[in-house]
């Protein structure tokens, strides 16, 4: 398994281009199942999770042409689901990536049948899919759980319904939004998630002929249509990649310009970092990051659904706060058990106390490099940030987590002066 070696202590300086959003790309790819015509997606990031979704769709019979993909910059995918040859999403593919369950709604809406493996537990909590299943049942889908699979049938098609989410779920909103586009009659999704990736999905579905009102709000109104057609859609910039590099630049005391991004997607992040003493200068599609004074100040953060502070930037913020002056209270409200990075950061000298859903970070003057590893994507990248700040050498194991969500991470950081290299398996 590849590892990443970092020699810390170099302030990042330069420009980093931000890629397309992973969490928009995955549901958009699943949306290709809704039409027998070609969906062309642009600005597709070259990531292991995107390849995993492509594999899954290919075994459903989706024909996938890769434009300039895989390759840096402007990847493009043409997905054509003219003939769906299998409605089964097998365990082996689903267990590797939870977002695989997003094929369930499109398959049952288009084909009247789907058989999708339950994703199972994962490193950041139990993450059930009860909201997905309950919502599809309201659309008239008969669902049985058997042998670890969701068996879904709707021989007469789906009918529209009012769905009230008891709490905000990104995946369930996406799942039911896609299904509703082909359901007969009106559907309303109330207390829907408002993440920009959902707005992106809705915009693409509208291009495909769906009728959706309320995009960007927590109440989505869908009027079902008989069929969807092909479309061309450019994926929004990745706000989590943006936030991660903001944190890396701030942590190292550097001066970095992020381009091809959307500052309005990271407003909550900018607000917190401003309080910590980071100057963020925004233009329409770029953000410049540098420190205002000679150090960082501790600030508190609570993760929340969008437009609140994102859970996917909690671990990175914690890495940033490890060397801030004073204390920072970080509270995780979206996922249970999302503090796996804490013991690893502590091995590098961080002073962190976890109590329930909160972590109290007492800033220390410096971190010291160490061999570390993490069990999820965002936790892994928080260790990269810590490694960039730490004295000496940090080796991060299980780099495949990083490859799931960060395109050319080491190249982008090295271009800003970071001393980082990938150690290939066996090196
Ligand atoms: C998506 C993102 C992920 C991000 C998360 C929260 C993708 C591919 N992944 O994940 O990076 O961290 O949103 O912003 O876009 N829940 C249930 N029952 C359900 C569904 C969810 O209890 O049926 C719970 C989850 O366990 C979690 C919370 O709801 O505690 C939020 O999860 P959700 O918003 O659904 O996250 P994902 O869509 O899995």
Sign of CA dihedral 109, 110, 115, 121: negative
For 208, counting Cβ atoms within 10 Å of its Cβ (0-12 exposed, 13-18 middle, 19+ buried), the class is: buried
The residues, ordered by sequence, that sit 6+ positions from 194 with a Cβ below 8 Å of its Cβ are 216, 217, 218, 305, 306, 307
pLDDT of residue 126: 60
Which residues are 2's β-sheet partners? Answer: none
Ligand 1 pocket residues where CB is under 6 Å:
23, 26, 98-99, 125, 127-132, 169-172, 197, 311-312, 334-335
CB neighbour list of residue 166: distance below 8 Å, 6 or more residues apart: 131, 191
Q: Are 42 and 234 in contact (CB under 8 A)?
A: yes
> Omega before 70 cis (within 30°)?
yes
Ligand 1: atom nearest CA of 170 is: 34
Tokens of 8: 């810390």
pLDDT, position 67: 75
Q: For tokens 């493009």, what's the residue?
A: 76
Other C-beta atoms closer than 10 Å to the C-beta of 8 total 24
Which residue is closest in CA terms to ligand 1's atom 27?
A: 335
Nearest-CA neighbor of 290 among 334, 329, 255? 255
The answer to whether the CB of 29 falls within 8 A of the CB of 50 is: yes
- Please give the structure tokens belonging to residue 59: 């075994």
Kindly give the distance from the C-alpha atom of residue 315 to the centroid of ligand 1, in angstroms, as a whole number: 16
Long-range contacts of 92-95 (CB under 8 A, 24+ apart): 93/52, 93/55, 93/56, 93/59, 93/117, 94/56, 94/118, 94/119, 95/119, 95/120
List per-residue pLDDT tens for the chain, 427 residues long: 889 999 999 999 999 999 999 999 999 999 999 999 999 999 999 999 999 999 999 999 999 998 765 544 478 999 999 999 999 999 999 988 999 999 999 999 999 999 999 986 555 556 789 999 999 999 999 999 999 999 999 989 999 999 999 999 999 999 999 999 999 999 999 999 999 999 999 999 999 999 999 999 999 999 999 999 999 999 999 999 999 999 999 999 999 999 999 999 999 999 999 999 999 999 999 999 999 988 999 999 999 999 999 999 999 999 999 999 999 999 999 998 899 999 999 999 999 999 999 999 999 999 999 999 988 899 999 999 999 999 999 999 988 889 999 999 999 999 999 999 999 886 5
Measured from the CA of 193, which atom of ligand 1 is nearest? Answer: 34
C-alpha neighbours within 13 Å on the C-beta side of residue 91: 6
Protein residue with its CA nearest to atom 8 in ligand 1: 23
Tell me the CA–centroid distance for residue 367 and ligand 1, in Å.
Answer: 32
Contact 154, 140 (CB under 8 A): yes
Tokens representing 75 are 């990847």
What residue's CA is closest to ligand 1, atom 30?
Answer: 335
Q: In terms of Cα–Cα distance, which of 244, 160, 251 is closest to 210?
A: 160
Options 111, 122, 204, 416, the catalytic residue: 122
Which stretch of DSSP H or E encloses residue 377?
A: helix 377-389
* Number of alpha carbons in the 13 Å side-chain half-sphere of residue 218: 12
| CA 76 – CA 263 distance, rounded (Å) | 24
Q: Which two tokens stand for residue 74?
A: 């402007």
Beta bridge partners of 6: 394, 420
How far, in Å, is the centroid of ligand 1 from the Cα of 252?
Answer: 31
Q: Based on the residue annotation, tell me whether 122 is a catalytic residue of this protein.
A: yes
Classify residue 398 as exposed, middle or buried by CB count within 10 Å of its CB (0-12, 13-18, 19+): middle
Question: Which atom of ligand 1 approaches the CA of 335 most closely?
Answer: 30
pLDDT at 121: 52
Cα separation of 160 and 211, whole Å? Answer: 13
What are 25's two structure tokens?
Answer: 């790309």
Judged by DSSP in three states, 249 sits in helix
Distance of alpha carbon 234 from alpha carbon 165, whole angstroms: 29
Buried b (16+ CB within 10 A) or exposed e, 165-201: beebbbbbbbbbbbbbbbbbeebbbebbbbbbbbbbb
């Amino acid at each position: 398994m590849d590892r990443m070696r970092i020699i810390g202590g170099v302030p990042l300086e330069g420009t980093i281009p931000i890629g397309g959003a992973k969490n928009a790309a995955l549901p958009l790819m699943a949306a290709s199942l809704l039409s027998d015509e070609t969906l062309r997606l642009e600005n597709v990031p070259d990531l292991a999770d995107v390849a995993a979704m492509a594999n899954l769709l290919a075994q459903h019979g989706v024909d996938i042409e890769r434009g300039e993909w895989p390759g840096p910059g402007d990847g493009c995918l043409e997905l054509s689901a003219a003939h769906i040859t299998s409605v089964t999403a097998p365990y082996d593919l689903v267990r590797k990536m939870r977002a695989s369950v997003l094929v369930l709604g499109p398959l049952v809406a288009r084909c009247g049948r789907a058989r999708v493996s339950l994703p199972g537990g994962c490193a950041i909590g139990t993450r059930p899919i009860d909201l997905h299943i309950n919502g599809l049942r309201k659309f008239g889908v008969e669902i049985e759980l058997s042998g670890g699979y969701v068996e879904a049938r709707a021989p007469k098609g789906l009918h529209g319904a009012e769905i009230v989410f008891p709490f905000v779920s990104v995946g369930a909103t996406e799942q039911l939004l896609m299904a509703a586009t082909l359901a007969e009659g009106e559907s309303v999704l109330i207390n829907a998630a408002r993440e920009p990736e959902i707005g992106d999905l809705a915009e693409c579905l509208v291009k495909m002929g769906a009728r959706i009102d309320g995009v960007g709000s927590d109440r989505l109104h869908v009027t079902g249509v008989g069929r969807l057609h092909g479309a061309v859609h450019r994926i929004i910039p990745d706000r989590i990649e943006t936030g991660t590099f903001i944190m890396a630049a701030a942590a190292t005391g550097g001066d970095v310009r992020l381009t091809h991004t959307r500052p309005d997607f990271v407003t909550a992040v900018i607000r917190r970092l401003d309080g910590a003493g980071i100057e963020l200068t925004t233009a329409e599609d770029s953000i410049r990051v540098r420190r205002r004074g000679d150090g960082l100040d501790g600030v508190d953060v609570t993760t929340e659904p969008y437009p609140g502070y994102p859970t996917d930037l909690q671990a990175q913020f914690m890495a940033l706060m490890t060397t801030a002056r004073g204390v920072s209270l970080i509270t995780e409200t979206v996922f249970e058990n999302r503090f796996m990075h804490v013991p690893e950061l502590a091995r590098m000298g961080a002073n962190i106390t976890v109590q329930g859903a909160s972590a109290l970070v007492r800033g220390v003057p410096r971190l010291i490099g160490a061999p570390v590893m993490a069990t999820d994507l965002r936790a892994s990248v928080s260790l990269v940030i810590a490694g960039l700040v730490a004295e000496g050498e940090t080796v991060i194991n299980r780099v495949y987590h990083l490859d799931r969500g960060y395109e050319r991470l080491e190249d982008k950081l090295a271009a800003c002066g970071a001393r980082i290299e990938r150690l290939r398996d066996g090196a």
